[in-house]
Structure 1
């Protein structure tokens, strides 16, 4: 059972006793389309998770057999705000999306997207912002933006080429074709496949394997890896030196060295945890 459960506007956040946080999109009737309220929920969730040192991993998931069907087109059409569809208003909404998707991508704990059903448009972008995508056999991914005359957003121009390479990223963005979970695994952006009923339990099991790990070293490693494609060697080397100085003075490192000298198994052992 969750140790804490927070109900947000169109989602819920639970924080388990083992340090795994689970953020669930709760708009099943709309296939968890990314409404303004759900966007606000992401901001609140990220503030909570980033400030809670108990959290060791974050799982993103959807309800009702969908991960996220992309932008809330119905909400755009029914808005009573006369400025809602102006170019400047749209530009500001896109900017606001970048403010929290970058926070999600940079979160200093592993983020796992458990994708069941469609991850379309912005939903695909959210999944790509995670560190690992675990998908059900019925998951479907689609950069659907050009179908409605838009360009990819919510970080897709950054995330997609890094996940699949530039030529394939162009193909997926320009054709807006559907990608099955099996093809996603072949392309490399899906980490593992599971049956729908097993997806969330397996995602939780995967996330819990990080619970015993060194929070500082894992967070710093993720941060530097995220910078690797756009940072020079010299700059990345300097960042590495600084990160190692921090990691080497964390309590986990001292305990791990003492345990090693006593012949004890490491507290964080990914292979052993898989057994």
Structure 2
């Protein structure tokens, strides 16, 4: 597929996927979603990839859905667009793919992350943001409900009171406060951002990939389990990982007092 709305590359175990509509603040269109699906399928199939960095070109991460996109247009018979269908066809698969991707994911938020853009960032495993970045649940400003997983992510990360305030009042949340509240992983100065993202990506790319992904799965499963169920769930992953190359390598490296050489398997 030819990419016109995203940039995609993979090198040294690091896949970089950049939303590339800077003149539109990287807002989503149907074409962009199709390109994202193709790129994520490539990552899923390419065993050389060990981590994904998702970012936005220009001065924004992503401003959410492009309301001028043809998918949002009034139908020829005068009926409004079926926005729920857009969510089902585009945003639901995107979030589920990010949450189940075979490699850890980093959202590098360099500016505003609004609406679905904020939700997509939160669907990644780690969110690193510039100090000038901000997060905005803009849906109430146009008479809609937060989507793309925000009603699931927000209460779990910041609690119901803060989640309700962010969703209903649609106030910008500065990156520093987002980190303070536990919504994102880390904030850094704008000038240091690119180097920080690169260092984090390189670190994750050298780690035991399967163990990182199983950690994600275990943590996501926990709210739906009792403690007893979660202990057994962890045990299943420990059994699987204990038979993997990276566990044997990690133990050998520990015993030999050297740095491990993980392969992701």
Same fold (TM over 0.5): yes
1: CA distance between counterparts of 2:62 and 2:122? 12
- SS of 1:73's equivalent? coil
Structure 1 residue 265: deviation in Å?
Answer: 4.1
RMSD: 2.1
CA distance in 2, matches of 1:82, 1:238: 54
- Separation (CA, whole Å) in 2 of partners of 1:236 and 1:250: 21
Distance verdict in 2 for CA 1:84–1:123, change over 3 Å: farther
Distance, in Å, in 1 between the alignment partners of 2:108 and 2:78 is 32
* Counterparts in 2 of 1:153 and 1:196: CA distance versus 1, 3 Å: same
Q: Is residue 2:14 matched to residue 1:16?
A: no
Matched, 1:91 2:105: no
Q: Which residue number in structure 1 is paired with residue 68 of structure 2?
A: 74
Are 1:211 and 2:210 an aligned pair? Answer: no
Native 8 Å contact 2:52 2:106 kept in 1: yes
Contact 2:74 2:80 in 1 (8 A): no
Tell me the alpha carbon deviations over residues 4-38 of structure 1, each in whole angstroms, 9 at most, x when there is no partner. Answer: xx862300111122x11111010001010111111
Distance 1:125 1:146 in 2: 15
User: Distance between the aligned counterparts of 2:52 and 2:158, measured in 1?
Assistant: 23
State the match for 1:182 in structure 2: 176
Please list, as runs of the form range in 1=range in 2, the aligned pairs for 1:194-233 lying within 5 A after superposition.
194-233=188-227
Structure 2: 5+ residue stretches without partners: none
Within the candidate set 32, 47, 54, 2:48 is matched to 54
Structure 2 length-normalised TM: 0.91
User: Could you tell me how far apart the structure 1 residues matched to 2:133 and 2:106 are?
Assistant: 15
Shift of 1:78: 7.5
Kindly tell me: are residues 137 and 82 of structure 1, through their superposed partners in 2, closer, same or farther at Cα, counting changes over 3 Å?
same
CA distance in 1, matches of 2:221, 2:185: 21
1:271 maps to none
* 1:3 equivalent in structure 2: none
Partners in 1 of 2:95 and 2:78 — Cα distance?
Answer: 21
Q: What is residue 148 of structure 1 aligned with on the other side?
A: 142
Distance in 2, matches of 1:51 and 1:14, equals 14
TM-score with structure 1 setting the length:
0.87
Q: How far apart are 1:93 and its partner, in Å? A: 1.3
2:97 paired residue number: 103
